[in-house]
Chains A and B, each alone.
Chain A
């Protein structure tokens, strides 16, 4: 091209290039702004995004009100001043008291900043300078305050994936995860009880086991553990301390009927005087009192009396346990209770039978009643009182029923007043006051006097604690596991770093 013509073309083309450049900048900005809007919109739907759980103040002190809920991010500092990620304005709490970090296997790992003192459940930071682990239901004693951790669904300890889901497959439908879990049970000819034990973080961190009496029979942690094979640590690790002692009179429905095949646990020690149970997935103190004369639209998912009676008291003979047995003999024992194995306790491994209806198995064991595998939570609910009375099915059915009931209430725009809220099952409470029922799977996310919207509000993630309580399947409060009140070693308070 001749130089003159090229110059003319280039001079003309500079406006073309400028136009394209302006278009590029404009579209880049529009793209940025659009994604920013989408992200804000999504964060409105997920107000709990970025948090793994909540710390519920079960004993307030100073400016820290009892019942207050403190959101827990992945990591950060906890201390007195507001610049901390978690502000605990209680006496004897240092400005920056401790550092916490979420670990997918160990839970919320707490390490002291400086020489500050605190305690988690039974252990103090002085006993484990490397850090203490909190899991769902663990209590934190710091200064003069007492807090309890409630983890959101998807961040339970012992999951296959990490908290950020980096290497994980996309989350499954909970129903599908449940079905996969049931299938997994059916495919195993012999189920080792260790396969149902949660991950054992105490082996690495020196913390006591999870105080979850149903941990042995709990379903896999939602929603991935259904894909988890039997953990290797269950074979390599030394014999774990039993979390609880199962009474001889109780037999799981799916266990082998032969008495010799049942696991023999040490006899339960003498029962300690049961303190007032407080933790049931929701601290009762955190439940707001309804303003007089005003209805409270509460996102409460409670296992009401009717459901529990249906589920628990269908057949006393076949029931997995009853309230009386639970309260007297089968109460999970404190993790502090010394474990004394019997001589022949582990000589013969317990044999569990699959839940599937198998002709060969029936042929081999003609005396055994036929077993029906629940394919879903609904099936489990329909079968309650008949064949399947494991706590998994009980609470799964109760949870599902109540979630749907709550959703139906939302749809019909009928706010639930606190006065008309279903009370916990009185028959299961024993002597405990109604406000301290340990069987209530409840969560009260919002306190508002406005009527509920027609559909589930954007804060759908408020369902997480309820689901988390479901998947733990049983009350986390272990009667007699810990006396209420602050440990004496914390009276000195913490040193400011």
Chain B
């Protein structure tokens, strides 16, 4: 009967591993996407690509959430949630592709893998780059050049000249500049260099206004303002900044015709249903038709919504899975934001704290702007829903931002572990018990 003891220990070890929160969460996520892709693949006739995705996407989630943290220090909770949202985007795009001859779902899966690489690069950037004073100015100048590039060679898309085409692919430079913006603003703000900070924000905002990319400009401005308040705590100047934003909005409303039009559509989309109000009207009808529990995966008519795959993908989620599912999706975003704020507060260096706060502010503002626009809380502007919307640039940008957050989080964990080990070693040397458990 001696053999029972190691077997019992192994069984207990397995049970302990199964009870780890990351494994329990990832198991549910994998089950969700396996069953969803399996259902989609059996919609009309057996879709082998769907079956492949039913295996590949859960495997990718497992690798990214369980395996990668063994080699790269990451926040597993953030990783699990972000992976779920990315895979949800792949699922929605693949389900709406059925019979339409598009491959957005498959392309989004590839962008998801590319985003994982960008995230790892940003993690390493935060962890192992210490001489930011050398890097920050070239990065800032390159970002300014990149964001101004569409003014010279850009193409207009949905009223904004913020795309550039390279060969058969197109990209949106303002999405990539988001990562640099957070780094540059955090650096200058942590060193209280207000003039370079203001200059960088001002140039970026001016270029975006020239490109008529109002949604991105709003995200940039709010991020800069939140960073300013987080670093200085100066409520008066922050209020002045908010008033300035309000004044600029009123001025833009008076000066630009398309702003007036957008506000009018926001106030009453049904009056402009045939023209400019068609999109928001379809969005509202899709959400309403979904009801609380949705019309079912792969059903409904999401393709009648203009740009359903980027700006209005939240409406597709609500239509197919229901409003309750949509609310739960928002809860996941809230958890990301709360986690980001916790990371920022726990950072021991101002620079890293500002990075975490900047990333959180940027992702939070982007989520609020697009979902608020879809729900008709604010005028609809053309920004993507983080991690879910179709688009390689957006996916890489959002995953890069999460990589910055992951890097700061891992540094915080290192710092705390270091203090813990020091104290435990001292207590051990002193021959006393360390109250660690």
Is B378's beta carbon under 8 Å from chain A? no
Q: Report A385-417 CB contacts with B as 1/0, cut-off 8 Å.
A: 000000000000000100110110010000000
Is A166's beta carbon under 8 Å from chain B? yes
Q: Is the CB of B28 within 8 A of A18?
A: no
Name 9 extra pairs, CB < 8 A, besides A28-B332, A73-B348, A460-B426. A14-B320, A17-B36, A21-B325, A25-B335, A171-B422, A173-B428, A175-B428, A456-B434, A460-B435
Per the bound structure, the CA–CA distance linking A11 and B39 in Å amounts to 11
Among B175-183, B276-284, B408-416, the stretch that binds chain A is: B408-416
Interfacial chain A residues near B297, Cβ < 8 Å: 10, 13-14, 17
Within 51-99 of B, Cβ neighbours of A (below 8 Å) are at 77, 80-81, 84
Closest B residue to A50 by CB, please name it.
B348
Interfacial chain A residues near B393, Cβ < 8 Å: none
Closest B residue to A52 by CB, please name it.
B348
Interfacial chain A residues near B127, Cβ < 8 Å: 166
Per the bound structure, the CA–CA distance linking A406 and B432 in Å amounts to 10
Among A31-39, A309-317, A361-369, the stretch that binds chain B is: A31-39
Is A42's beta carbon under 8 Å from chain B? yes
Within 271-311 of B, Cβ neighbours of A (below 8 Å) are at 293-299
Per the bound structure, the CA–CA distance linking A410 and B427 in Å amounts to 13
Is B32's beta carbon under 8 Å from chain A? yes
Q: Is the CB of A461 within 8 A of B423?
A: yes
Q: Is the CB of A166 within 8 A of B435?
A: no
Is A434's beta carbon under 8 Å from chain B? no
Among B18-26, B158-166, B212-220, the stretch that binds chain A is: B18-26
The chain B residues found within 8 Å of chain A, CB to CB, are 21-22, 24-25, 28-29, 31-32, 35-36, 39, 42-45, 77, 80-81, 84, 127-128, 130, 233, 293-299, 320-322, 324-325, 328-329, 331-332, 335, 338-339, 342, 346, 348-350, 411, 414-436
Interfacial chain B residues near A154, Cβ < 8 Å: 418-419, 422
Q: How far is the CB of B37 from chain A (nearest CB, A)?
A: 12
Interfacial chain A residues near B322, Cβ < 8 Å: 14, 18
Is A427's beta carbon under 8 Å from chain B? no
With A153-B426, A461-B423, A463-B430 known as contacts, the answer to whether A45 contacts B416 (CB < 8 A) is no
Contact of A10 among B299, B338, B435 (CB under 8 A): B299
Q: How far is the CB of A218 from chain B (nearest CB, A)?
A: 17
Q: Is the CB of A7 within 8 A of B421?
A: no
Q: Is the CB of A166 within 8 A of B429?
A: no
Interfacial chain A residues near B349, Cβ < 8 Å: 74-75, 164
Closest B residue to A49 by CB, please name it.
B419
Contact of B432 among A1, A15, A410, A467 (CB under 8 A): A410
Is A172's beta carbon under 8 Å from chain B? yes
Per the bound structure, the CA–CA distance linking A174 and B431 in Å amounts to 12
Q: Is the CB of A13 within 8 A of B419?
A: no
Per the bound structure, the CA–CA distance linking A456 and B436 in Å amounts to 11
Q: Is the CB of A18 within 8 A of B419?
A: no
Interfacial chain A residues near B342, Cβ < 8 Å: 36
Q: List 6 A-B contacts (CB under 8 A).
A: A1-B42, A17-B297, A32-B77, A45-B423, A48-B419, A75-B349
Q: Is the CB of B415 within 8 A of A173?
A: no
Contact of A460 among B44, B415, B427 (CB under 8 A): B427
Chain B CB within 10 A, most for which of A30, A49, A173: A49
Q: Is the CB of A32 within 8 A of B434?
A: no
Q: Is the CB of B293 within 8 A of A164?
A: no
Per the bound structure, the CA–CA distance linking A175 and B35 in Å amounts to 55
Q: Is the CB of A11 within 8 A of B338?
A: no
Q: Is the CB of A32 within 8 A of B338?
A: yes
Chain A CB within 10 A, most for which of B22, B416, B432: B432
Chain B CB within 10 A, most for which of A10, A39, A173, A455: A10
Closest A residue to B43 by CB, please name it.
A6
Interfacial chain A residues near B346, Cβ < 8 Å: 39
Closest A residue to B410 by CB, please name it.
A166
With A9-B39, A36-B342, A153-B426 known as contacts, the answer to whether A31 contacts B77 (CB < 8 A) is yes
Contact of B28 among A23, A400, A407 (CB under 8 A): A23
Per the bound structure, the CA–CA distance linking A73 and B422 in Å amounts to 17
Per the bound structure, the CA–CA distance linking A291 and B430 in Å amounts to 28
Q: How far is the CB of B109 from chain A (nearest CB, A)?
A: 19
Is A263's beta carbon under 8 Å from chain B? no
Is A421's beta carbon under 8 Å from chain B? no
Interfacial chain B residues near A14, Cβ < 8 Å: 293-297, 320-322
Interfacial chain B residues near A288, Cβ < 8 Å: none
Interfacial chain A residues near B411, Cβ < 8 Å: 164, 166
Q: Is the CB of B81 within 8 A of A28?
A: yes
Q: Report A460-482 CB contacts with B as 1/0, cut-off 8 Å.
A: 11011001000000000000000
Per the bound structure, the CA–CA distance linking A31 and B342 in Å amounts to 14
Q: Is the CB of B423 within 8 A of A29?
A: no
Q: How far is the CB of B72 from chain A (nearest CB, A)?
A: 13
Interfacial chain B residues near A168, Cβ < 8 Å: 418
With A28-B332, A35-B77, A400-B429 known as contacts, the answer to whether A166 contacts B28 (CB < 8 A) is no
Q: Report A161-194 CB contacts with B as 1/0, cut-off 8 Å.
A: 0111111101111110000000000000000000
Q: How far is the CB of A161 from chain B (nearest CB, A)?
A: 9
Interfacial chain B residues near A74, Cβ < 8 Å: 348-349
Interfacial chain B residues near A404, Cβ < 8 Å: 430-431
Is A223's beta carbon under 8 Å from chain B? yes
Q: Is the CB of B21 within 8 A of A27?
A: yes
Closest B residue to A162 by CB, please name it.
B130
Interfacial chain B residues near A410, Cβ < 8 Å: 432
Closest A residue to B25 by CB, please name it.
A27
Per the bound structure, the CA–CA distance linking A39 and B338 in Å amounts to 15
Chain A CB within 10 A, most for which of B411, B423, B435: B423
Q: Is the CB of A28 within 8 A of B435?
A: no
Interfacial chain B residues near A10, Cβ < 8 Å: 39, 296-299
Per the bound structure, the CA–CA distance linking A172 and B127 in Å amounts to 22
Interfacial chain B residues near A451, Cβ < 8 Å: none
Enumerate the 8 nearest inter-chain pairs by beta-carbon distance, A residue then B residue, closest first.
Answer: A10-B296, A403-B430, A165-B418, A31-B21, A154-B422, A171-B421, A456-B432, A407-B432
Q: Is the CB of A39 within 8 A of B293?
A: no
Is A46's beta carbon under 8 Å from chain B? yes
With A18-B293, A404-B431, A407-B432 known as contacts, the answer to whether A1 contacts B43 (CB < 8 A) is yes
Per the bound structure, the CA–CA distance linking A36 and B75 in Å amounts to 13
Is A3's beta carbon under 8 Å from chain B? yes
Per the bound structure, the CA–CA distance linking A457 and B421 in Å amounts to 16
Contact of B425 among A24, A48, A174, A400 (CB under 8 A): A174
Q: Is the CB of B328 within 8 A of A174?
A: no
Q: How far is the CB of A426 from chain B (nearest CB, A)?
A: 26
With A45-B435, A174-B429 known as contacts, the answer to whether A460 contacts B423 (CB < 8 A) is yes
Chain B CB within 10 A, most for which of A24, A74, A162: A24
Per the bound structure, the CA–CA distance linking A74 and B434 in Å amounts to 25
Closest B residue to A457 by CB, please name it.
B435
Per the bound structure, the CA–CA distance linking A410 and B213 in Å amounts to 67
Is A202's beta carbon under 8 Å from chain B? no
Contact of B421 among A11, A24, A25, A170 (CB under 8 A): A170
Q: Is the CB of B425 within 8 A of A32?
A: no
Per the bound structure, the CA–CA distance linking A163 and B400 in Å amounts to 26
Contact of A458 among B45, B81, B435 (CB under 8 A): B435
Interfacial chain A residues near B329, Cβ < 8 Å: 21
Within 118-175 of A, Cβ neighbours of B (below 8 Å) are at 152-154, 162-168, 170-175
Interfacial chain A residues near B427, Cβ < 8 Å: 456, 460, 463
With A16-B35, A456-B435 known as contacts, the answer to whether A464 contacts B29 (CB < 8 A) is no
Q: Is the CB of A46 within 8 A of B432?
A: no
Is A261's beta carbon under 8 Å from chain B? no
Interfacial chain B residues near A29, Cβ < 8 Å: 331, 335
Q: Is the CB of A172 within 8 A of B31?
A: no
With A27-B24, A171-B422 known as contacts, the answer to whether A165 contacts B414 (CB < 8 A) is yes
Q: How far is the CB of B339 from chain A (nearest CB, A)?
A: 7
Q: How far is the CB of B43 from chain A (nearest CB, A)?
A: 5
